[in-house]
Structure 1
């Protein structure tokens, strides 16, 4: 059974367990889209971990959600108002693909997924994205954007981009394709304005 909780309501040790997943999570701590390139180059993983800890302890809006499978911390999704991710403003994928105006607080973004290896292919990411949409709606979102990859069109080191999620995940959660800024990347959105 998969349960989703706000990262602001769970023990920090549970976030550490998820972010200690081998690969980028243990160095990024979901801060990549929140800092400038210069800050990224000059900051170590422990500082990023401290920043995420501070962000989750501030309360609402939470920077993300944690999935639990049988009470074990299994995964993470980052979802916040798009303006909380300043690096997205400079992203070629987003610049060329988003139809939304910068500075609109009703536009939220799903930018990152982390699922521990032993919990993959069990519906964890699907549960996280559905909960992210609900969280955005509760926070006043009119639109939720995502920037997933098409796995069939990536190879080698590009596989690292899977943290954005996959096109099929977003489609299953009711997102529609808005743009194809690169062969392997999509801009997808879900309009919440007509949903009660």
Structure 2
């Protein structure tokens, strides 16, 4: 399978919706923007996922930098992967997390964050995540970034696909990202542009 990576546009929204549905992912990449408790978030994902879908679609249509991302398309043009790729300042919840709160990660306006990676279940382990990670620096540079950061989860045990929603750590290492904060279970990787 050949994978083509493009910047998310409004035209991709129906296919992106299909990707989230096929992956049983009810978050629609709104975790970083949700205000409320963890239980409120879990309730919303379980009982009101349409709110998440509508928020994502609205943010994309409005040109919100917090909704920026990349889509991976297969040979037939179907969306088989998604990466949230936004200025770190557009996802203040990230910096507010206890694990990152005390870190001096530098300029959040020109550092783009890989907020999540989602690959269609039947396309996993076919190079889709790698294609998205490899494309991220090029698109981020075009959007004015000076660096791209990733926040994969590190575990001594193999992670289930749903637990590696910020991407597999090994792919960042294999694609030239360097650890700038090497703390388990949440290291920070960066690629300067």
Report the TM range for the smaller structure's normalisation. Answer: 0.7 to 0.9
State yes or no: 1:63 paired with 2:68. Answer: yes
Residue 164 of structure 1, CA deviation: 0.9
- Secondary structure, in 3 states, of the residue corresponding to 1:108? strand
Q: What residue in structure 2 maps to residue 7 of structure 1?
A: 8
CA distance in 2, matches of 1:60, 1:186: 27
- Quick check: 2:117–2:166 contact (8 Å CA) kept in 1? yes
State yes or no: 1:179 paired with 2:181. Answer: yes
- Once the two structures are superposed, the pairs formed by residues 19-38 of structure 1 within 5 Å of their partners are 19-23=20-24, 25=25, 27-38=26-37
Alignment RMSD, CA only? 2.2
CA distance in 2, matches of 1:85, 1:21: 26
Residue 58 of structure 1, CA deviation: 2.6
After superposing the two structures, state which structure 1 stretch, 109-118 or 3-12, moved more.
Answer: 3-12
Q: What residue in structure 2 maps to residue 169 of structure 1?
A: 171
- Quick check: 1:106–1:141 contact (8 Å CA) kept in 2? yes
* Residues 75-126 of structure 1 deviation map (CA, whole Å, 9 limit, x = unaligned): 1000000011121121123235x44236x31111001000001111111001
Aligned length: 185
* Residues 52-94 of structure 1 deviation map (CA, whole Å, 9 limit, x = unaligned): 1112223474521110111221010000000111211211232
Q: What residue in structure 2 maps to residue 113 of structure 1?
A: 117
CA distance in 2, matches of 1:100, 1:150: 19
Residue 159 of structure 1, CA deviation: 6.0
CA distance in 2, matches of 1:160, 1:94: 21
* Residues 29-69 of structure 1 deviation map (CA, whole Å, 9 limit, x = unaligned): 10101122346367431111001111222347452111011
- Quick check: 2:137–2:147 contact (8 Å CA) kept in 1? no
Cα separation, partners in 2 of 1:189 and 1:117, compared to 1, 3 Å: same
Residue 9 of structure 1, CA deviation: 4.7
CA distance in 2, matches of 1:160, 1:138: 30
- Quick check: 1:147–1:185 contact (8 Å CA) kept in 2? yes
- Quick check: 1:5–1:66 contact (8 Å CA) kept in 2? yes
Cα separation, partners in 2 of 1:111 and 1:140, compared to 1, 3 Å: same
